[in-house]
Amino acid sequence: MPDTELLDLIRKKAEHDLARIGETARKEADILIEEAERTSVKLKSEARSDINSEANRLRERKYNGVRFRMNAKRYEIKAAAIESVWREAKEALVALERSSGYPDVLVKLFGENLDDVPDNSTVRVNPSDEAQVSGLIDDSGRPLLLETGDDVHGGVEFHWPDGSIVLRNTLSHRLGKMKAGGNAFIADILFGDKEEQRP
């Protein structure tokens, strides 16, 4: 075989191998590009999801912070309003004690629990009520002792002879008992808090 034919054969074989290698390389490059594009889309999607999650978390945190401050301010306003109601009620009781209708109230407060009070109990009253309550004791015909004290306002206190029981029947004591259990009731009247109990 002449050298030129051999060289042509080698050249054709080399061209064929080169074309085959180039085709394989192009196919592998296409596969790598497609894989890179899929990976890029996946990474973009994951990054977008992470960004959205972080944005939602920050938005929720900001919302919770605002809601907390709003609730704190609302409770502060409610507490001030409720305290104002009790302050006005106390002022109304003081005004009642100074009113012309107070002697009738004192008669009722004295007589309400008189049947439960044992003989020889001490009736404590404010010095300004001493004369009226002394007359009420006389009218009752009961053996009761009368004592005055500046700490008693708007009514009477009955102290059992053995000191075991003190029955306070004063307007201020009644207001204190009402205040101890009445804030929820007052809040419901003022603000309709029942709607806050819904989830």
Position 183 confidence tier, pLDDT thresholds 50, 70, 90: low
Helix-helix angle 171-191:3-97, to 10 degrees: 140
Position 78 confidence tier, pLDDT thresholds 50, 70, 90: confident
Phi, psi of 168 (to 5 degrees): -95, 115
Helix-helix angle 102-112:3-97, to 10 degrees: 100
Q: What pLDDT does residue 2 have?
A: 61
CA dist., res. 171 & res. 92, Å (int): 10
pLDDT (tens digit per residue) in 115-141: 999 999 999 999 999 999 999 999 999
Q: What pLDDT does residue 107 have?
A: 95
pLDDT for residue 57 is more than 60: yes
Could you tell me whether strands 155-159 and 122-125 are parallel, antiparallel, or unpaired per DSSP bridges?
antiparallel
Cα dist from 151 to 9, 29, 195, whole Å: 128, 99, 42
Mean pLDDT of 102-112: 93
Q: How many Cβ atoms are within 10 Å of 149's Cβ, its own excluded?
A: 11
CA dist., res. 161 & res. 113, Å (int): 16
pLDDT > 90 in the chain, percent: 34
0.85 cut: is pTM over it? no
pLDDT (tens digit per residue) in 25-47: 888 888 888 888 888 888 888 88
Position 68 confidence tier, pLDDT thresholds 50, 70, 90: confident
